[in-house]
Amino acid sequence: MENVYDIVIIGAGPGGLAAGLYAARAKMKTLILEKDKTGGQIVTTNEVANYPGSIQEATGPSLIARMVEQTEEFGAERKKDTVMDVDFTEKIKVIKGEKEEYKAKAVIIASGATPRPIGCPGEKKLTGKGVSYCATCDADFFTDLEVFVIGGGDSAVEEAMYLTKFARKVTIVHRRDELRAAKSIQDKAFKNEKINFMWDSVVEEIKGDGIVESVVFKNKKTEETTEYHADEEDGTFGIFPFVGYKPQSDVFKDKIELNEGGYVITDADMKTDVEGVFAAGDIRVKSLRQVVTATADGAIAAVAAEKYIENNF
């Protein structure tokens, strides 16, 4: 079939790149589409210490660079384009990009999920320099330092408890006067001597020259603002916003099955409810969103897509 790819992968994070590697290595005509920077969230991580086999001083960008090199070595094609619409109703799937239209026998959705930002001045500039959205990834950098966890849901409180293994003090900052987390999780947090609470408060601004040095809090009830400065000996501290994630799935609404949070529902082989459409990585309903699980998803999705093509074309 002329101008039809075997597999089009939407997203070039670890899941998409792993899928591209496995698909191209299986001699599938493979295209990886990415609307933004290659690598997804991991490129904002300065060190990747928990990915099996990471070399010393491995960074998010260096790990992604090696993944990209592997996909290119096996012949996967990469293009920068924003997917505006998809048509999965026919055997040949159609992906409508901002720049052009693509056709494929199988599609792997690996468009990821992005942390919802606080939305305050300084947050974006200091992301990866004291502001982190992944305790599992970055907790080690804040050993014996102070950290603030922003949020009051299950993930915020669970991540706060995880951070107590590293930080000397963890403060949960919540915009309300009680947590939204499950009662069992709350009970554990209240019993943890390292965890403190700042109620009815939001982050107004994060300040620092190349690294987080201070943060301005505002009390929602009194309207009073206070600025917390890093301990002089520490020089910095951590800010971990956990106010939710937004799956990049808007374009797939009503095209495939999503859960109430907008995540793609798949089976163990990464199959969606539409024949020939698979999903991998953070976009998928799953319990752990890490590089290692994204790459595993990508490999499984590519192998499943290859089998689907062999049986249907």
Tens digit of each residue's pLDDT, the chain (313 residues): 568 999 999 999 999 999 999 999 999 999 999 987 777 777 666 567 678 887 666 777 888 889 999 999 999 999 999 999 999 999 999 999 999 999 999 999 999 988 889 999 999 999 999 999 988 788 999 999 999 999 998 889 988 999 999 999 999 999 999 999 889 989 999 999 999 999 999 999 999 999 999 999 999 999 999 999 999 999 999 999 998 888 999 999 999 999 999 999 999 999 999 999 999 999 999 988 888 999 999 999 999 999 999 999 9
pLDDT of 140: 93
Provide the domain limits for residue 234: 135-241
Does one domain contain both 264 and 286? yes
Is 161 inside any structural domain?
A: yes
Q: Where are the alpha helices (DSSP H) in the chain?
A: 14-25, 60-73, 135-138, 154-163, 183-191, 291-312
The reported pLDDT for the residue numbered 300 is 98
Alpha-carbon gap, residue 130 to 138, rounded angstroms? 9
Residue 265: what residue type? I
Instruction: Report the pLDDT value the prediction gives residue 3, as an integer from 0 to 100.
Output: 84
- The answer to whether residue 128 sits within a structural domain is no
Q: Is residue 125 part of a domain?
A: no
Report CA torsion sign: 290, 293, 298, 301.
negative
What pLDDT score was predicted for residue 20?
97
What CATH number does residue 199 fall under? 3.50.50.60
Q: Which residues contact 103 (CB under 8 A, 6 or more apart)?
A: 1, 3, 4, 5, 8, 92, 93, 94, 95
Crossing angle between the packed helical segments 14-25 and 60-73, to the nearest 10 degrees: 20
Domain termination site, one of 224, 241, 258: 241
Q: Are 40 and 13 in contact (CB under 8 A)?
A: yes
For residue 20, give Cα distances in angstroms to 41, 109, 182, 207, 274: 18, 11, 39, 40, 20
Catalytic residues, which ones? 134, 137-138
Q: Is residue 144 part of a domain?
A: yes
Q: How far is the C-alpha of 282 from the C-alpha of 292, rounded, in Å?
A: 11
Of 220, 241, 262, which residue constitutes the final position of a domain? 241
pLDDT (0 to 100) of residue 177: 95
Counting the structural domains of the chain, the total is 2
pLDDT on residue 47:
64
- Domain co-membership, 93 together with 140: no
